[in-house]
Copies of this chain bind each other. A is one copy, B any other.
Amino acid sequence: MWQLHTFSLCPFSRKVRLALSEKGVGYELVREYPWDPSEGFFTLNPGGRVPVLRLDEKKLVLIDSQAICEYFEETVDRSPLILGTAAGRAEIRRLTAMFDEQFFADVTGPLMVEKMKKRLVLRQPPDSQALRLAMRLAHEHLDYIDWLTDTRRWLAGAQLSLADFAAAAQISVADYLGGIDWSGHEGAHSWYRVMKSRPSFRPLLTEKMEGIPPPRHYADVNA
Contact = CB atoms under 8 A, between A and B. Distances in A.
What is the oligomeric copy number? Answer: 2
Contact of A71 (B62, B68, B86): B86
Given A64-B98, A66-B97, A71 B47 contact: no
B86 A75 contact: yes
Contact of A70 (B62, B89, B102, B144): B89
Nearest to A45: B94
Interface string A120-160: 00000000000000000000000010000000000000000
Interface in A30-68: 46-47, 60, 62-64, 66-68
A210 interface: no
Contact of A89 (B74, B87, B89, B98): B74
Contacts of A67: 90, 93-94, 97
Contacts of A90: 62, 67-68, 70-71
Interface of A is mostly: helix
Interface of A: 46-47, 60, 62-64, 66-68, 70-71, 74-75, 86-87, 89-90, 93-94, 97-98, 101-102, 144
A47 B94 CA distance: 10
Nearest to A73: B86
Given A67-B93, A67-B97, 16 more contacts: A46-B144, A62-B90, A62-B94, A63-B94, A64-B93, A64-B94, A66-B66, A66-B97, A67-B94, A68-B90, A71-B87, A71-B89, A74-B86, A74-B89, A75-B86, A101-B101
Contact of A66 (B46, B62, B68, B93): B93
20 contacts: A46-B144, A62-B87, A62-B94, A63-B94, A64-B93, A64-B94, A64-B97, A64-B98, A66-B93, A67-B93, A67-B94, A67-B97, A68-B90, A70-B89, A70-B90, A71-B87, A71-B89, A71-B90, A74-B86, A75-B86
